[in-house]
Structure 1
Amino acid sequence: MAMQKVIPAILTADPADLRGKLEILKGHTNWVHIDIMDGYFVPNNSVSIFELSGVYEVFNLEFHLMVLEPEKYFRDCDEVGAKRVIFHYEASQSIDTVLEKAHQCQFHIGMALNPETTVEKVQPYLSQVDSALCMGIDPGFQGKEFIPDTMQKIPQIRFQRRDILVGMDGGVKEENIRDIFAAGADYAVVGSGIWKSHDPADSLKKLQEIVQ
């Protein structure tokens, strides 16, 4: 599965906003990162997974499940053609159950780490996931300030497992994206860093050019 270095994120509870943003991204990205929220693990809600039906024909879909009991969402992700699904270490009562359910699906499985979660805590599971996503902010909102110390996890994860895909999500912008890749990230997820600009497609292009 080809990986691109900068992936735009969509965080919205409005299906019309979702469709509008997907339209803006057409022709500018092969991958889209969709934040799915339940109002419990994080205090926001989002569009449902099924609002993405058919989108797999245009984009590779990465779902970020900011939800409790993420395994209950896996079948829906599979049905809409997800390429990668990311669950939160902190949202799961039984990581073993989550991984067992994930490995019954077609998508690649990733694990997200909140800023306060150490690599030491997740180390036992790194051999069982395809990717690790380091959160640069507390999850659930776009536009928060990046926490620089979270970059230290990237080489720590790589030390534990050299062939794992490592991403950074939250607070990514022009000012820090070089540092994120210098730390060893394979890709970065960008939300407000593009959507708060007057030309999101151009902002995405600039970020892509910085890290090429």
Structure 2
Amino acid sequence: RLPFDVHLMIEQPERSIDAYKDAGANTLSVHVEATRHIHRVLGAIRNAGMKPGVCINPGSPLELVEPVLELADLLVVMSVNPGWGGQAFIEGSLERIEAARAMRDRLRLKLDIEVDGGVTAATGRQAASSGATVLVAGHFVYSHPQGKKAAIAELR
């Protein structure tokens, strides 16, 4: 069975936890900016039997997630402003990924660092070198002129 990883960009994500659990989600990631009580939401996700992830937008200080990183299995570093696919990778994202890796290592956490937005073969390699362990490359994969298989081969 394939893993089902859900990334929510909604207000009051706590209201949707059960629906995604019932749909079979394994991982549920929510934005630190989307709720006043991110620690409670991450705990509720774990209590529902899913892996919790915390996402952070490009304009938010990375320090916002530090107090709750120990509650998460995944940190999603957004490398575009959320809203639609096909945006360019934001300059400065590599430094944020490096800072996220340094934070994870300093806190001695086992935590995947996912990069979402503007990921291509080139930016994916750079993100991985900077500390990313998971890449979201939807637009690159689905719009590749040689098809999905070629896109995935380039990403590997």
Q: TM-score, normalised by structure 1?
A: 0.67
CA distance in 1, matches of 2:54, 2:143: 27
- Which residue pairs with 1:138 in the alignment? 81
| Post-superposition offset of 1:93 | 2.1
Deviations 1:175-194 (A, max 9, x none): 21111111011111111111
CA distance in 2, matches of 1:96, 1:180: 27
The amino acid that maps onto 2:18 is R
Any idea what SS the aligned residue of 1:133 has?
strand
CA distance in 1, matches of 2:53, 2:132: 14
CA distance in 2, matches of 1:81, 1:157: 29
Give the structure, 1 or 2, with the largest relative contact order (CA under 8 Å, sep 6 or more): 1
Residue in structure 2 matching 1:76, options 3, 11, 19: 19
Any idea what SS the aligned residue of 1:111 has?
strand
Residue in structure 2 matching 1:159, options 96, 102, 105: 102
Q: TM-score, normalised by structure 2?
A: 0.90
- Which residue pairs with 2:151 in the alignment? 203
Any idea what SS the aligned residue of 1:205 has?
helix
Deviations 1:111-150 (A, max 9, x none): 1110011211211111111110100101120001111312
The amino acid that maps onto 2:150 is D
- Which residue pairs with 2:64 in the alignment? 121
Percent identity (aligned)? 26
Residue in structure 1 matching 2:130, options 180, 183, 192: 183
Contact 1:158 1:164 in 2 (8 A): no
Aligned pairs, how many?
Answer: 151
Structure 2 portions without partners, runs of 5+:
none
The amino acid that maps onto 1:189 is V
Structure 1 portions without partners, runs of 5+:
1-56
The amino acid that maps onto 1:182 is S
Verify: 1:102 aligned to 2:58, yes or no: no
